[in-house]
Structure 1
């Protein structure tokens, strides 16, 4: 083999290795590099008793094909260290398996069993679209581990004579959301936090909230995985083409704030690139 050909092959091998590095990182470091993000949420009439109230959000666990038991255990340890007043779990506890109903049940319990270790006094959840293949199994597994699942329902939380509401909306991709059951009527000094899964539903919700005189101050969602394999200039445009405007982070919408969590698990391929798994700590502020 002449030197030029040998050099060409060496350069080609080097280029191939360099090109594969992002995928290797996405499989190893990217999908397990847990990040903790802090977000202040401002509510004008937040009662005194809830100023500084903290909510830890976790989402998109996707137990089934690609379990992330070690990552979830670590995320719960991180969550407990933050000492939140409430933990919110915003759906997709399993990855739907259309060929094996028993596998869905097993995945639901395997995921939910981790939640027994959560130390926060308040623990709530909403369904994701994947959970709707086995909603009873997911609900039973969560309940057995101290998690209250809210589907088109709301509860009031009292502290020091003050009240706020926590609601959960049915998944908008598979199920039937009913805002009038998940959100209470507008009432001064009684903020409302809504758990859901699909962030794009927020667009529809803005109109129905105003028409029905309902209240929502904070909508917590997930679903997008932050793009999961997030390629600059490509992923965001592709997501927008599919109708998904909100990939990750906080968004000020008409009448309320939405936060989109990147989640912990993965779908299709066990890869995360520029979209690390996330625990979010949200702090309620008056303003």
Structure 2
């Protein structure tokens, strides 16, 4: 049923958008080429989806990206043509009531030309995001002040990455560049906040050696995200699913990462310490709620300075920020910023993600507690990023109050 609805929607948009082209050129060759391209785009997507068994890997992702590029462009055209058709309709109605009979004016070529020109913007943007934007790694630096930060950790530097989704990667050189960029930050510690794979542990086979080169003086700590449990695969048995998760956990260890499963560790420096608490995935809505904050923080003293690793920022919004145990800083990911948006520092920060998540990208503060939502290192489904670039977060901890 969903396929029928999707195809019906695509065809409706496709036919409507064709009117703009037809008003500029009525050659039957143009019509044939238009039909062939449209059929190839949607046909390839359906074929790749069926071949992939519903999973998102590079081939299906690329097919989806091409569909999205054409669909967004055609939606822009449809919006213009629909606006013009409404105008034409009311002009025709006015003529009918004025006694000259109903007669709507013909479609104006310049409107179609404008529509086609503007449609090129989302089309080119999506293609740019697919071929360049998805590996356009950015380092985002933050400084956070805490009055109760242990003196030894004043100036301590944290690096965070999230949402690798290794099953989507298709360029070893570009991913290697991102990891080199991370290592060049020379952070004291590195935190990974979940979704190492799309679904299967085997997705890391070609990337394990590369990600094992991530190093920091105080180590690399990691947690699981919703995709790491294999919940989106039709496994042959419960045992096969459990084996997949065990293999993924072993992969963290093989890379030298300390995977926290509802547990905690301490970072120590000059006789002082801060607690690192890692929970399994706890997501809002239908997402898995395997995270146990009370278990993970058991035996952590109230006076300890605490950093919480929790994949889904919904956890912070619904549980953490008002928890009776004060978690100073939470590090999350999950949203990807929907891999699409507009960010101009100091002017605008927008993504469709804001309508789903209150905390969707960057630093937020409530109840004197902070959360950083990393925009993600990799990508999922749409094989690209437009305006929301892959991120390496670097957070410097400072003791005292922030200057006004």
Which TM bucket (shorter chain)? 0.7 to 0.9
2:215 is the counterpart of 1:112: no
How far 1:13 sits from its partner (Å)? Answer: 5.8
What secondary structure is seen at the aligned counterpart in 1 of 2:275?
strand
Give the one of 133, 137, 148 matched to 1:30.
Answer: 133
Show the counterpart of 1:101.
none
What secondary structure is seen at the aligned counterpart in 1 of 2:266?
strand
Question: Runs of 5+ in structure 2 lacking a partner?
Answer: 1-22, 26-108, 231-243
Show the counterpart of 2:361.
248
What secondary structure is seen at the aligned counterpart in 1 of 2:313?
coil
Show the counterpart of 2:227.
130
How far 1:87 sits from its partner (Å)? Answer: 0.5
| Whole-angstrom distance in 2 between the partners of 1:197 and 1:208 | 18
TM-score (norm 1): 0.85
| Whole-angstrom distance in 2 between the partners of 1:68 and 1:87 | 23
Greater RCO (CA < 8 Å, at least 6 residues apart): 1
TM-score (norm 2): 0.62
Show the counterpart of 2:390.
277
Q: Quick check: 1:56–1:279 contact (8 Å CA) kept in 2?
A: yes
How far 1:280 sits from its partner (Å)? Answer: 0.9
Show the counterpart of 1:99.
none
Alignment of 1:135-174 (within 5 A): 135-172=245-282, 173-174=287-288
| Whole-angstrom distance in 2 between the partners of 1:148 and 1:109 | 19
13-22 or 219-228, which deviates more: 13-22
Q: Which of these two proteins has the greater Rg computed from alpha carbons?
A: 2
Q: Quick check: 2:274–2:305 contact (8 Å CA) kept in 1?
A: yes
Q: Quick check: 2:166–2:378 contact (8 Å CA) kept in 1?
A: yes
Judging by fraction of residues, say which structure has more strand.
1
Alignment of 1:188-227 (within 5 A): 188=303, 190-206=304-320, 209-210=323-324, 214-227=325-338
CA RMSD between the two structures: 2.6
Judging by fraction of residues, say which structure has more helix.
2
Q: Quick check: 1:93–1:111 contact (8 Å CA) kept in 2?
A: no
Question: Runs of 5+ in structure 1 lacking a partner?
Answer: 97-103
